[in-house]
Structure 1
């Protein structure tokens, strides 16, 4: 409702000034009371919403800061566990070293055993033809029959200047060519060779893993050769029929069969026999023209034997062994050393503590030493993170295990355990280094997040917080203005009061 009171212009002007001053004082007092110059979007929409977004991000990061701090504790718990595991493994190594220094059992004897044969040697008949005189027109003709496939003829004519070595070289080259042609391209290089004898006048034919039969016919006087038939004896010649077998049984295991013959996978040469020996499990050995040997190392098991059984007497004779050969090995072990026995129990106790310590190295349900992985978030959207992979460092995970009774009685077993312990120590130290590096990374991210939160909060406050010093000065100035406005209003009212004196 409109006021019916009429104010003079001066009074109205002073009144409006006083009202404006009162409004400014109210706003200033509100800023001082809240400490903010922007209290709502009505005050300054841009500053208000920007400040709110910055504050929200700072709040989100602040909550992540707690999880980052927990990640450090998880890593510290794992690092503490690694330190203790290292000490336990070092203790186990010390125990093994003590056992190694203790005396061994009273007497320990391992007798290796073997079957040795004297096979029938592969021989070649020899003939000394005496000196050979080479004439200018001398011609040599050689007929070679390969496995009954027909004769191949080598013709060679020398000149007066030819040396014995040149003749032999020519024969060697022609021989390889003719042999290969006779059997369909098979290589005889290095298997059948022709050379001169030690005296310089002998012609020597040698074979490696091959059977040579040859006939000298129509020998001329100047060659010094005598017409005759010459034959070498091979392994298969002594065995007889193809398909004969040799059964090998090692330490009571399954029979392993060697088959002799010319078929696929069968044995017809010494080279093939040696290859077959190399394929027999649990056996080492060799065969040559002088000896056939199979060896089996003794063990502490109940079975210590090597049993050979030939399918016929000819095969056994060819290998130089009895048809049914059995060799028993012996193992003699003295009474176990009491100190080593005691240290075995100590060692196993340490192994059990490894597992217990790993189980106890968890923090807030997370155990980096028992295969758990841990993901640390570094920003509010989850796009920045670090995955800390766990490891399984119980005894099995470290490649260690409890040992059986009598294990430490042999120095070789102790050396094996020390090797495992050294490997475990290396793994523990490497993992400790990795966890240490990861912990440093997490600490750096924690410091970064703290600084970023501080930056965000400072930026948000700069947009909305009031300067209390400035606002205090403003309030003091407004109070002075209010007093002056009140005085001015009073003076304006006095002019109107002068009219009343006319009626006085």
Structure 2
């Protein structure tokens, strides 16, 4: 087969047209794919570098799902803590309500009258004032109590041979002792001294009786004693030696004065308190997300990067088991308490529970703060991971993506060149055809 010979002009025009067509095809392909590097053949360095960047961005994007679940788990636990805090505040209100109602369970003792109507008439005073003005010690050495008259204030008849008086009051583990009373002290001084104790209050009523009431619900012991010295007076007080002079009994110290009954209001608050306590346990169990509950002691691990082993970046959030018992909140009972219970009728127990609830709130706030810090960290890493994935993707695109504006301009220019090349080829052919005119 013979070879067809082409003129130089035609051959040049064909070469130019072929080159333009190839360049145009390349630009069209780049425009259709949006990439200037579509395979390792185009640019191996940029192709594999972009592939690595896209792969890492893809792995980080997958981690975002785990990070999002971690955020929701911590948020659920935080919301649970907030709700439990409200329940504990309600428990505090219940305790305060119980403490406000205490009249029925205060140990109270009213003695016998220390003044008579005749004394009130003789002194032109009320029975109350006559009693308050009376001296404790027999100030005229008659060996017995003396009635008040227009000229004498009267006394309770404690032997004048005693030079020391002592007052002792005990309630629970607290004891108050006073040796401030003297041979010239009055019933008014005694009442003031009892009121100074802080564990009991005293007053003289309108009938002239000494009334003593405990400041708490513990059994109250009160004793007045006299002796030749302070030690003897205290020993006598602990036996209630001079209690009869006050219209009280000696057993008011040895046995003590107990509360006469329970508070109905407090009894009714037992179920309310215990129901709120149960809700703490139930709420904590419901504060989970996707099988993880930080309020039942679960551990949450949030992975932030695509690496493994020691190079892996993650945050471990160790949960706590939140229950009423773990917060120190006992069940309320209306009477004698055992382990894990407290007597709602007892003031000391109520005070202890009030302190316990205050401590529980502090513990919950600390847990809430810790969860808040973890949540802030995870949210920060979530934003960072999103931004980093975008940066990696943008970097990969910069290496392999085509500049569509430039490629479109190139294609337009190439199309113009293609038309010119075709025109050049046509002119070259016409030049070759001119030889036919010779025939």
**What TM-score, normalized by structure 1, do the two folds share?**
0.55
Distance 1:22 1:399 in 2: 85
Cα shift at 1:103: 2.0
Q: Confirm or deny that 1:468 pairs with 2:404.
A: yes
Distance 2:348 2:414 in 1: 98
Aligned to 1:354: 280
Aligned to 1:389: 318
Aligned to 2:189: none
Residue 369 of structure 1, aligned match among 272, 295, 299: 295
Aligned to 1:286: none
> For each residue in 1:82-114, what CA deviation from the matched residue of structure 2 results, as whole angstroms up to 9, or x when unmatched?
11111100110110111011024356489xxxx
> For each residue in 1:421-455, what CA deviation from the matched residue of structure 2 results, as whole angstroms up to 9, or x when unmatched?
11101100111111111111111111111111111
Aligned to 2:370: 434
Aligned to 2:90: 91
Contact 1:337 1:409 in 2 (8 A): yes
After TM superposition, the structure 1 = structure 2 runs for residues 395-474 of structure 1, keeping only pairs within 5 Å, are 395-406=324-335, 407-474=343-410
Kindly indicate which of the two structures has a greater share of residues assigned to helix.
2
Q: Which has the larger radius of gyration?
A: 1
Mark the runs of 5 or more structure 2 residues left unpaired by the alignment.
110-217, 220-253, 336-342
Pick closer, same or farther for the CA change 1:9–1:82 going to 2, 3 Å: same
Distance 2:84 2:409 in 1: 68
Q: Confirm or deny that 1:12 pairs with 2:11.
A: yes
Runs of 4+ more than 3 Å apart:
104-110, 328-333
**What TM-score, normalized by structure 2, do the two folds share?**
0.62
Distance 1:428 1:25 in 2: 70
Pick closer, same or farther for the CA change 1:69–1:431 going to 2, 3 Å: same
Distance 1:454 1:9 in 2: 54
Distance 1:489 1:498 in 2: 14
Distance 1:84 1:345 in 2: 20
Distance 2:298 2:96 in 1: 34
Distance 1:393 1:432 in 2: 12
> For each residue in 1:125-153, what CA deviation from the matched residue of structure 2 results, as whole angstroms up to 9, or x when unmatched?
xxxxxxxxxxxxxxxxxxxxxxxxxxxxx
Cα shift at 1:332: 4.7
Count of aligned pairs:
287
Aligned to 1:102: 101
Cα shift at 1:329: 6.5
Cα shift at 1:379: 0.5
After TM superposition, the structure 1 = structure 2 runs for residues 160-175 of structure 1, keeping only pairs within 5 Å, are none
Cα shift at 1:5: 2.2
Distance 2:270 2:107 in 1: 19
Pick closer, same or farther for the CA change 1:399–1:472 going to 2, 3 Å: same
Contact 1:15 1:489 in 2 (8 A): yes
